[in-house]
Amino acid sequence: MSILKRFVKDTAVYGLATILPRIMSVVLVYLHTDKLETSGYAENTSFYVGAAFLNVMLTYGMETAFFRFFSKTEDKQRVYSTVLIALTTTTLIAFGILWLFKIPISEALELPVRYFGYLLGVVILDALVVAPFAYLRAKGKALRFAGIKLTNLAIYVVLNVGLLWVIPHFGLNFSWYSTDEYLVYIFFANLMASAVTFLLILPDFFTTKLIFDKQLFGQLWRYGWPVLVAGLAFVVNENLDKLLLGDMLDKNIMGAYSGCYKLAVFMTIFIQAFRLGAEPFFFNHASSKNAPATYATILKYFTIAGALGLMIIVCFIDFFKDLLIGNADYFIALEIVPYILLANLFLGIYHNLAVWYKLTDKTLYGMYFSLLGAGLTIGLNWYFIPRIGFMASAYATVAAYGAMMGISYYFGQRHYRIPYNSLRIILYLVLAMGSALLSFYIFRGNYLVNTLFILLFSGITFALEGRELKRILTKKSA
Instruction: State pLDDT tens for residues 442-454.
Output: 999 899 999 999 9
Which of 102-116, 349-363, 372-386 has the largest mean confidence?
Answer: 372-386
Number of H helices and E strands in the chain, helices first, is 21, 0
The DSSP output letter for 36 is S
Higher per-residue pLDDT: 291 or 253: 253
Nearest in space to 332 (alpha carbons), one of 251, 256, 249 = 256
pLDDT for residue 234 is more than 90: no
d(CA 47, CA 297): 39
Q: 291-295, 303-307, 434-438: which has the minimum mean pLDDT?
A: 291-295
Q: Residues 4, 297: contact at Cβ < 8 Å?
A: yes
**What pLDDT is stored for residue 477 in this prediction?**
42
Q: 6-20, 234-248, 378-392, 418-432: which has the minimum mean pLDDT?
A: 6-20
Taking residues 316-324, what's their average pLDDT?
89
Burial class (CB in 10 A: 0-12, 13-18, 19+), 364: middle
Nearest in space to 123 (alpha carbons), one of 94, 89, 158 = 94
Taking residues 147-151, what's their average pLDDT?
90
Q: What percent of the chain has pLDDT over 70?
A: 91
**What pLDDT is stored for residue 476 in this prediction?**
47
Nearest in space to 61 (alpha carbons), one of 208, 284, 233 = 233
> What phi, psi does 231 have (nearest 5°)?
-65, -40
- Band of residue 478 on the pLDDT scale cut at 50, 70, 90: very low
User: 0.85 cut: is pTM over it?
Assistant: no
d(CA 65, CA 294): 23
pLDDT for residue 206 is more than 90: no
Nearest in space to 376 (alpha carbons), one of 271, 240, 249, 247 = 240
**What pLDDT is stored for residue 444 in this prediction?**
93
Total structural domains within the chain: 1
Q: Residues 301, 222: contact at Cβ < 8 Å?
A: no
Nearest in space to 350 (alpha carbons), one of 261, 263, 469, 233 = 233
**What pLDDT is stored for residue 284 in this prediction?**
63
pLDDT for residue 416 is more than 50: yes
What is the crossing angle of helices 76-100 and 62-72, to 10°? Answer: 170
d(CA 469, CA 475): 10
Cα distances (Å, whole numbers) of residue 136 to 142, 147, 148, 267: 7, 11, 11, 25
Question: Chain centroid to CA 201: how far?
Answer: 22
HEC per residue, 183-249: HHHHHHHHHHHHHHHHHHHHHHHHCCCCCCCHHHHHHHHHHHHHHHHHHHHHHHHHHHHHHHHHHHC
Q: 27-31, 80-84, 154-158: which has the minimum mean pLDDT?
A: 27-31
Q: Residues 98, 105: contact at Cβ < 8 Å?
A: yes
> Largest Cα–Cα distance in the chain?
66
**What pLDDT is stored for residue 12 in this prediction?**
63
Average pLDDT, the chain: 88
Nearest in space to 21 (alpha carbons), one of 189, 243, 215, 239 = 189
pLDDT for residue 191 is more than 80: yes
Taking residues 321-343, what's their average pLDDT?
91
**What pLDDT is stored for residue 295 in this prediction?**
86
Taking residues 313-329, what's their average pLDDT?
89
**What pLDDT is stored for residue 301 in this prediction?**
87
Which structural domain range is residue 416 located in? 3-474
Taking residues 245-266, what's their average pLDDT?
88
Q: Residues 91, 130: contact at Cβ < 8 Å?
A: no
Higher per-residue pLDDT: 139 or 151: 151
Q: In 3-state terms, what secondary structure has residue 105?
A: helix
Question: Chain centroid to CA 364: how far?
Answer: 21
Q: 45-49, 95-99, 228-232, 287-291: which has the minimum mean pLDDT?
A: 287-291
